[in-house]
A and B are shown apart, each in its own frame.
Chain A
Amino acid sequence: MTMSLAMPSPDTTGEWEFLPFSFDHLDEATVLMTNLVGEQIFLTNDEFDQVRSGVPRSSSLKRRLASVHILRRRGESLPVELLAMKLRTQNRRLAQSTALHMFVVTLRCEHSCRYCQVSRQASSNDEFDMSPDTALRGLEFAFRSPSRSMKIEFQGGEPLLNFPMVRYVVEKAKELNREADKDLAFVIASNLVLLDDEILEFCEREGIYLSTSLDGPSDLHNRARPRPGMDSWERVVDGVKRAQDRLGPHRVSALLTTSAASLDRVTEIIDTYVGLNLHSIFLRPMSPYGFALRPRSGRSYEVERWLSFYAAGLDYIIELNRNGYPILETWAAIIAKKMFTNDDSGYVDLASPAGIGLRALVYNYDGGIYASDEGRMLAEMGDLTFRLGQLGEATYDDVMLSEELLAPQMTSLTHSAPMCVTCAYRPYCGSDPVFHHTTQGDFVGHKPTSEFCQRNLGVFRLLTQRARRDPYVRELFIDWAHSC
């Protein structure tokens, strides 16, 4: 049997043209190119020089670029349709605004954490508690959002100091949801000190998740989180164990607040999480809000030091996984989801338009509506920029269309911000007008000196390099991307 070939080889003749792309010199020998939706391809400098001078001559390079939708035959429509579909998928949350609603049920707290601006020690009177009336208005407001899914997160202060209000909101929300039929979930952000059997039973029955703070080994944790008795660590560890026993391991997670003292101790910190049988850790940068802005709070470390801390932590976590202990780093997972899928986890700080308001709203104990938790903290420091209104006065539509929300949204879009617009990592990033307002005095910020930009660029490059060098790591990141 013989066959004659109509096409003697893959045909790349004819006219080609570029589709939108961005690039970054990842290292001295490698250029990263990303397409409109953030898919990656790596070129040698020689290959990239071909791109500089126009459509590449090499047939195989043409084909590689075509397969990631950076190059197309002139007028070819399939790549356009596919890019549009991916773009639409990535942005589908835009039509599903505000999935996360934070209820600050009290400002009272028995901790006096160094970084925290908002808590009040006056823990006996109810001056700083949310009233049932305010909570109900908050719920009615929240249920106006079009999002199909709805997560209610209880914040403080320490929300368990006003547990009756937590109970009230959960029960009332479920009642309202009988008609609204949203995909409803609850999280209590708590130091777990007050976690007793009654609360655990309630959480078990109502399907509530617990999120706590764990800064690492006891000395680190207790120094950052003073309370009478200096036993915050012992109590949180005990709380995590009891919650795991009662609710199951996946219903309790812990968050790390990084301080200057954490920076040299990343493996110890991670080991603390492993010791508690926790399977995720969030190596968050310290936020520039609250006490954190004040020099005496210890916020003197720089982005570079934090990036080294993060890289060391990430590498340690990768090795833990390789050796059989599955543990996910949340920041990497959030970014990996944007890097390796068309999906997005809805994380507030990595969105354009910014996630404030659109992805999250905060209802303060006093009925103040804020665009983000950081916006609420700024208000406690006297800056009301991100206060969007008052429950009972403003409607959901009023707030979402308010100048206070639209101005930071519109001005800070990464699609138009200088440097962002051509950044190879733009599809993974966001605009964070609250951060830039706080640190640089305007919603857009000056990108070359923006800590947000430097830190995110550092992490994007790190993740890209690690995934590129080691197929195991790439698969691990992709697995994380599909787990978060």
Chain B
Amino acid sequence: MLNLRGRATGLPAASLIQDVWPVRGPDAPPREDEACLVPVGAVPVPGFGLYLAQPGTAQAAYLGLPVVALPPDLGHLRPGDVLHTNPNATRLSVLWKASARHNSLLLTERCDNYCLMCSQPPKEREDGWLYDRALRVIACTPEDAQTVCLTGGEPTLYPDRLLALLSECARLRPAMRVLLLSNGRRFADPAFARAYAALDQPGLMVGIPLYAGEEALHDYIVQARGAFTETVRGVLNLGALGQRIELRVVIQKHTVDHLAEIAEYICRNLPFVEQVALMGLEMTGFARSNHDEVWVDPYDYREQLASAALRLRAARINARIYNHQLCTLDRRLWPLSVKSISDWKNTYAEACQSCSVREQCGGVFSTSRGRVSEHIHAISEECENGVAVGADRRR
């Protein structure tokens, strides 16, 4: 787990010309729109717009330069990362980790769904500026950046800004894969769906949550009447336009007994989707406050999960298991399990120390603050030709 935020201390802060900074090493050619990460003992080369001093660096070296002292928590900062600063550079946050599997950019905190288990509860306030910031971040990412996840809130609530951002993304980083997380409702509008499809980006996929095969339950879970119909219509529109779609099923108390039904619904009505993510809960935000309403131990639903995932797989739909620990899964699902938890909030339980499949396992959310399966246990394996053959060893 990594801290992505910190307060700059110690050194006098400068008034800065911008808020989003690509981080460079000391040997990079100086540019005033880039930040330079200076190792302890090194002499800063003038010409960068911002200097990031490691803890313990002598102040004298920076006289006259715009410099902030990195808090120890941000010691993981590396060239290629992207940093956000407030105007007087007292607050720092890392918006992009070059080394991370996943980087997410928040586009808005507004949402027209209000999901019982939302890990990032919506806030109703004008925040369209986040799209502009996201665009600046994309422009600062390394040329070889692989993937980005665009998330919210509901990113389609600012349709024009979103389309402009996606289009710029493709222009700046044509090879980057983009996963857009949306509740899909806006795509029920054929004009918007067409405009989205007209971007014609092969690396673009939209991840859309579906929590039931009928409206009553889905609408209840997302706390919005009419949401199911709009979401399914949106998926149908996108499918008809040949767009790449991931459906996302968050598994919680209300969906757990309907997993087979949802899988069946997808196979029969939405068989054109590229993949289906079956997702464990992140116990933060509403999920934490609605704990009793939503929590169910993954170990207790492993059979339902297996039957849904295998149903999808038999129908040649790419089923993926997100946010689950291998020890809570039916072994037939191990090949479908994806290390999906962002590095910065990815951790392992104590029992995982001695586990032999830890490297293949997605671990747990640090943000769940210990609310994880009670059945997490180390698996001891003997490997034959690289194939795990051992049995679970329960503690």
Contacts and interface: CB of A to CB of B under 8 A. Distances in A.
A478 B268 CA distance: 12
Contact of A479 (B223, B271, B314): B314
Interface stretch (B86-94, B98-106, B284-292): B284-292
A478 B215 CA distance: 26
A95 interface: no
B265 A10 contact: no
B217 A475 contact: no
B216 interface: yes
A341 to B, nearest CB: 7
A91 to B, nearest CB: 16
Given A1-B289, A2-B289, A66-B214, A78 B315 contact: no
Contact of B315 (A1, A3, A62, A341): A341
B278 interface: no
B291 to A, nearest CB: 11
Nearest to B261: A67
A73 B225 CA distance: 13
B109 to A, nearest CB: 14
Contacts of A59: 216
A11 B269 contact: no
Interface string B165-181: 00000000000000000
* Residue in A7, A66, A474 with the greatest tally of chain B CB atoms within 10 Å: A7
Contacts of B316: 482
A76 B232 CA distance: 13
Contacts of B212: 63, 67
Contacts of A6: 114, 223-224
A153 interface: no
A91 B28 CA distance: 64
Interface in B305-336: 307, 310-311, 314-316
B216 A5 contact: no
B233 interface: yes
Given A67-B261, A341-B271, A10 B311 contact: no
Given A1-B121, A67-B265, A478-B314, A7 B307 contact: no
* Residue in A64, A341, A478 with the greatest tally of chain B CB atoms within 10 Å: A478
Contacts of B114: 3, 6
B229 interface: yes
A481 to B, nearest CB: 8
A340 B213 CA distance: 16
Interface of B is mostly: helix
Contact of B269 (A62, A82, A471): A82
Contact of B310 (A3, A10, A81, A475): A475
Nearest to A86: B268
B311 A475 contact: yes
Contacts of B269: 82, 85-86
A478 B217 CA distance: 27
B265 A7 contact: no
Nearest to A37: B268
A76 B307 CA distance: 30
A7 B288 contact: no
Interface string A308-341: 0000000000000000000000000000000011
Nearest to B121: A1
A81 B232 CA distance: 11
Interface string A48-81: 0000000000010011101110000100101001
A3 B289 contact: yes
B219 interface: yes
A7 B271 contact: no
A67 B268 CA distance: 11
Contacts of B225: 7, 11
A342 B265 CA distance: 12
A39 interface: yes
Interface string B254-271: 100000010011011101
A7 B315 contact: no
Interface in B209-245: 212-217, 219-220, 223-225, 229, 232-233, 236
A420 to B, nearest CB: 23
Contacts of A342: 268, 271
A449 interface: no
Given A64-B261, A78-B229, A342-B268, A7 B310 contact: no
A1 B285 contact: yes
Contacts of B254: 10
Nearest to A12: B216
B169 to A, nearest CB: 32
Interface residues of B, number: 37
Contacts of B233: 78
B214 A63 contact: yes
A10 B227 CA distance: 13
Given A39-B268, A66-B216, A341-B315, A78 B121 contact: no
A482 B314 contact: yes
A9 interface: yes
B286 A11 contact: no
A7 B223 contact: yes
Nearest to B217: A10
A359 to B, nearest CB: 23
A39 B261 CA distance: 12
Given A1-B285, A78-B233, A482-B315, A63 B271 contact: no
Contacts of A475: 310-311, 314
* Residue in A2, A10, A475 with the greatest tally of chain B CB atoms within 10 Å: A10
Given A1-B288, A3-B290, A478-B314, A471 B220 contact: no
Contacts of B288: 1
Contact of B286 (A1, A68, A471): A1
Nearest to B223: A6
A11 B219 CA distance: 8
Contacts of B213: 66-68
Contacts of B315: 340-341, 478, 482
Contacts of A39: 264, 268
Contacts of A5: 116, 223
A3 B286 contact: yes
Nearest to B239: A85
* Residue in A59, A63, A474 with the greatest tally of chain B CB atoms within 10 Å: A63
B347 to A, nearest CB: 22
A85 B264 CA distance: 16
B70 to A, nearest CB: 31
B121 A3 contact: yes
A85 B236 CA distance: 10
* Residue in B121, B288, B315 with the greatest tally of chain A CB atoms within 10 Å: B315
A64 B307 CA distance: 17
Given A3-B121, A3-B289, A78-B232, A67 B219 contact: no
Nearest to A78: B229
B316 to A, nearest CB: 5
A11 B225 CA distance: 9
B35 to A, nearest CB: 34
A378 B254 CA distance: 60
Contacts of A479: 314
19 contacts: A1-B285, A1-B289, A10-B254, A11-B219, A12-B216, A59-B216, A62-B216, A63-B217, A66-B214, A67-B265, A68-B213, A85-B269, A86-B269, A340-B315, A341-B268, A341-B315, A471-B310, A475-B310, A479-B314
Given A6-B114, A474-B311, 13 more contacts: A3-B286, A5-B223, A6-B223, A10-B254, A11-B220, A63-B214, A81-B236, A85-B269, A340-B267, A342-B271, A475-B314, A478-B314, A478-B315
Interface of A: 1-3, 5-7, 9-12, 39, 59, 62-64, 66-68, 73, 76, 78, 81-82, 85-86, 340-342, 471, 474-476, 478-479, 482
For the complex of A and B, 10 pairs with smallest distance between CB atoms? A67-B213, A478-B314, A66-B214, A10-B216, A10-B220, A67-B214, A1-B289, A475-B314, A10-B217, A479-B314
